[in-house]
Structure 1
């Protein structure tokens, strides 16, 4: 009856109340990351064999089949998945996925005994996470792609009760500065799923490249997806020709590619959040369609250096219609509730210098350029809300007045998130101090690949607390969670992205999943070596 006592807790959005319980220490045998709410070691072990049958509630058959596919490569087993209409126990030696409506949507219980495995959940996400925990109890070779003969696939007996603390557990990935293949994006999503993360923030447009096919406006990819060359080395104000690589950098995802990635993520319980930057960070779009420009006398090209471009969308009705046309196609590709519109680092110099834009500011009764941007963002908020979606943007969308239904992603520290939560808006915390994985991992920069700057070691990531103490209990409910940021100016290839992401992403996954009282950096470090061996098996180029 132990798990029934916790059932009401696991039905809640967070597992914070569990921090008052006395819980056993996790040994190296139970090197589970992120750390569960309750983990009770038991005697004995369960052995996975070719004869193991997975008994799944009809709601969980998809999850069960994916588990069978995952373990097929390293084990060579072709596990049988049986659809069970009743909630009975599994046959001896089997794995049972049982639907238990009292649990929360991402919660699960896991019982491993020598005679079988029972996972209980109310929804596919909980069953999925229960199976991910089971895989962490098996030898690390379970993550290999190739078969490993003569391995005994044994999982230590244990009782686990678990649920996430936050509903938004994510990672951003910038593919606009350096394009990454569809295959790597899928691997990246796989890694997030292994860590029970559930949001993939896909940064698809930038000054340096437009990466998503929009059929109504084909020049966005025909012209906007290629830059003629790329700055090499650190950013400098006045680069010389010798500072560039002289190589064209191109790439974009077709709409079929997008659909494939979105479906792949959904199968792994991850919602993809697309980001279409506006009104700043839009030089590639302006190059493709100069009529969008606030400076029509200049042809900018696709930006070849890093930093913030002066080019900004002209806030006319026709530009609003253009971007809403883009969003219409985006909505058809991404079924998730949130659409990210950027809103950050939009320099206003071109608006200030353009008499027509100044006249428009006055005609709309706006005070200044910040209110002009707020007006522009509100048009997108209204558009998305009318179509049943939610707009999210970086914390600059607070300037000039926050759109009525906006969710704020707070990156310039926590202040923007605090202000938004106090105004009853939802927040995703993404402060540069703890979640920017484009920062260095050592104070000695000579020992690290070139990065944008900063210093964010793994212990700083683990120390991150997404809920600021300045918020009341009711205001804190607006903190949906947090995410990592990987801006790719200095990440020219997939292996470099992995190096910057891991193992810091491992630490963040525990911050976002595990109850606050269950977080202990010393204990985490004790579990980390086993987990790093899993990353080795997954061919991840983590920082060692």
Structure 2
């Protein structure tokens, strides 16, 4: 059989599929599992899912007896990959690591649900090998603009895990809110909804059991209004600012010229790194207005002292010091791609790419030199945009247009300025999360085939646990999509004209931004009509 022709799995399998004719494994009311080499966490989750969805009890088998499911260590299997071999008497799973076993059990869960629903509990005999295309298969959830509690985050993590996404990028701070308890700086969360440190640990434990790594993001030196509300002395002019309750890019940011800024940030990070076991730590770096830096005596003095020739290099000087401090804690640093506007960036930073509004790419030279990159292209993987703009097919078909030699993976991003409830959050994520998962996992993809399997997930097997957008809404097209897109863009461009917004773009970059938006959304004729509406 051809790759992917068998089974309703999402994401579609990459490896070989060998059907065993006239062989079936009968799924009984109880199953046993033998495990000598792998973590018990993934097995417990698999057992809970089967019990909850199918009423099947899974128990541990004695190592000397024959189980229903046998987990076998095999160093020849690709990292995070697996092999499932189904005979009439037993299911054997081979993998080299815990992540591979977790992925295998996730696939087996779906196969069992399908067999119970559609094959009279008979699981077809088959041998499957499978492995991921990308190491990093992620979803960003912004809880700063609007706060979402522990139960919501766990629900999203479970859906991620069912789709073999393995990284939750948790955006915990921004202009609109600081969402993580600090015992060192308690004023950060005064009068704000936030997670206690125990709740953070609880979510991390829940995610770990499902093979999902949590990477925190503490945004700096921009997007820090919530921070500065509590500690205004960290800005250039000690400005008192109000907590923001609307979308925007705001001018008051951290001062990289004050040594006291670094002292404070280092103390904060010393506390934060203890909460997150991930080796990676995201420090933002996007949309940093340089307006105040240009007249700040502290910033100008530092630039003169260290021979820093421009303000992009000043931002990197800040980033470099924060990075060096985090490296001392054994962390690897991730930054948004604006950090690469400096020509001085060293190779110890991973870039997360979302967009460039310049005629020529400032990122490409770095990517050509092998700098690590995660792609979160805003026109394909920003899930806060309507389905008419970031269509399901764009997310599914996405391949980075910038050629990079060291791509770690891709990540969907769910910003929440316009997402006020858990129901809307889930609607914007699902079923995009299924398309994202297959884009990140599967090498040879076919959108029409994906839609068939997606409908099975949604309507037949009922495997989607979130408040999913209906199939017709998620696949909106034609005139309805065009009109929805126009209305959204009119609202967005009106917002960009307000005095609160300072994206740090010159006039030519603003024109590039407009052009990129229209060319990624409309055909040439519709784009021209829309520009006339704006004038």
TM-score interval for Structure 1 and Structure 2 normalised by the shorter chain: 0.7 to 0.9
Residues 1:195 and 2:173 are matched in the alignment:
no
For the Cα contact (< 8 Å) 2:37–2:72, is it kept in 1? no
Corresponding residue of 1:128: 102
Confirm or deny that 1:407 pairs with 2:384. Answer: no
CA contact (8 A) 2:24 2:122 kept: yes
Q: Partner of 1:169 in structure 2?
A: 137
1:47-95, Cα deviation, whole Å (9 max, x unpaired): 32233211122324332232112211233333211253x8x9x44xx11
Cα pair 2:4 2:13 within 8 Å, conserved: no
Deviations 1:297-320 (A, max 9, x none): x31111122110111001111111
DSSP-derived class of the 2:83 partner:
strand
- TM-fit CA distance, 1:141: 10
User: Matched residues in 2 for 1:531 and 1:467: separation?
Assistant: 30
Whole-angstrom CA distance in 2 between matches of 1:482 and 1:392: 13
Where 2:140 maps in the other structure, the secondary structure is strand
- Give the direction of change, closer, same or farther, for the CA distance of 1:197–1:324 in structure 2 (3 Å limit): same
CA shift for structure 1 position 269 = 1.0
The answer as to whether partners of 1:277 and 1:342 remain within 8 angstroms in 2 is yes
For 1:366, what is the secondary structure of its paired residue?
coil
Q: Is the 8 A contact 1:381 1:404 kept in 2?
A: no
**Distance between the aligned counterparts of 2:466 and 2:198, measured in 1?**
27
CA distance in 2, matches of 1:435, 1:335: 26
| Shift in Å, 1:97 | 1.1
8 Å CA contact retained: 1:61, 1:81 = no
Whether the 8 Å CA contact 2:341–2:363 is kept in 1: the answer is no
Is 1:77 the counterpart of 2:56? The answer is yes
SS at match of 1:381: helix
Determine if contact 2:115/2:123 at 8 Å carries over to the other structure: no
Deviation at 1:266, TM superposition (A): 1.1
Supply the distance in 1 between the matched residues of 2:411 and 2:178 (Cα, whole angstroms). 23
Give me the whole-angstrom Cα distance separating, in 1, the residues matched to 2:100 and 2:465. Answer: 27
Instruction: Give 3-state SS (helix, strand or coil) of 1:209's partner.
Output: coil
Q: Which moved more, 1:403-412 or 1:166-175?
A: 403-412
Cα distance in 2 for partners of 1:417, 1:82 equals 53
Partner in structure 1 of residue 35 of structure 2: 56
Q: Secondary structure at the match of 2:438?
A: helix
1:374-429 per-residue CA deviation (whole Å, 9 max, x = no partner) reads: 11000011111222211100001112232441110011159465333223311101
Deviates more, 1:164-173 or 1:31-40: 31-40
Normalising by the residue count of structure 2, what TM-score does the alignment of the two structures yield?
0.82
Supply the distance in 1 between the matched residues of 2:461 and 2:313 (Cα, whole angstroms): 47
Contact 1:48 1:153 in 2 (8 A): yes
Contact residue 18 and residue 127 of structure 2 kept, 8 A: yes
Larger mean CA deviation between 40-49 and 426-435 belongs to 40-49
Deviation at 1:324, TM superposition (A): 1.5
Q: By how many angstroms is 1:156 displaced? A: 3.0
Cα 1:95–1:436 shift into 2, 3 Å? same
- Which is further off, 133-142 or 332-341? 133-142
- The alignment status of 1:278 with 2:228, answered yes or no, reads no
Structure-to-structure mapping, 1:144-293, within 5 angstroms: 153-223=121-191, 225=192, 251-293=193-235
| RMSD of aligned alpha carbons | 2.3
Q: Is 1:441 aligned to residue 415 of structure 2?
A: no
Q: Which moved more, 1:35-44 or 1:194-203?
A: 35-44
Do the aligned partners of 2:20 and 2:126 also contact (CA within 8 Å) in 1?
Answer: yes
Structure 1 residue 348 displacement after superposition: 0.8
Matched, 1:490 2:418: yes
Does residue 321 in structure 1 map to residue 247 in structure 2?
A: no
Q: Which runs of 5+ in 2 are unaligned?
A: 471-535
Q: Is the 8 A contact 1:410 1:416 kept in 2?
A: no
Q: Distance in 1 between matches of 2:17 and 2:428?
A: 31
Change (3 A) 1:74 1:531: closer
Q: Secondary structure at the match of 2:218?
A: strand
Distance 1:302 1:55 in 2: 54
Distance 2:35 2:236 in 1: 58
The equivalent residue for 1:39 is 17
SS in structure 1 at match of 2:182: coil
User: Judging changes above 3 Å, is the alpha-carbon distance between structure 1 residues 408 and 500 closer, same or farther for their aligned structure 2 residues?
Assistant: same
Match of 2:491 in 1: none
- For the Cα contact (< 8 Å) 2:41–2:210, is it kept in 1? no
Aligned residues: 463
Question: Does 2:274 correspond to 1:332?
Answer: yes
TM-aligned CA distance change 1:272 to 1:535, over 3 Å: farther
Shift of 1:467: 7.0
Residue 469 of structure 2 corresponds to residue 543 of structure 1: yes
| Cα distance change on mapping 1:291 and 1:458 into 2, 3 Å | same
* Alignment correspondent of 1:6: none
C-alpha change, 1:484 and 1:54, in structure 2 (3 Å) is same
Is the Cα contact below 8 Å between 2:80 and 2:103 reproduced in 1? yes
Query: TM-score scaled to structure 1, two decimals?
Result: 0.81
Instruction: List alignment gaps of at least 5 residues for structure 1.
Output: 1-21, 143-147, 226-250, 443-454
Matched, 1:307 2:286: no
1:64–1:81 Cα contact (<8 Å) kept: no
- Tell me how far apart the structure 1 counterparts of residues 321 and 372 of structure 2 sit (CA, whole Å): 19
What is the alpha-carbon distance in structure 1 between the residues aligned to residue 224 and residue 303 of structure 2?
A: 21
Q: In structure 2, what is the equivalent of residue 431 of structure 1?
A: 377
Contact 1:312 1:346 in 2 (8 A): yes
Residue 385 and residue 467 in structure 1: after superposition, are their counterparts in 2 closer, same or farther (change >3 A)?
A: farther
Q: 1:333 to 1:83 in 2, by over 3 A?
A: farther
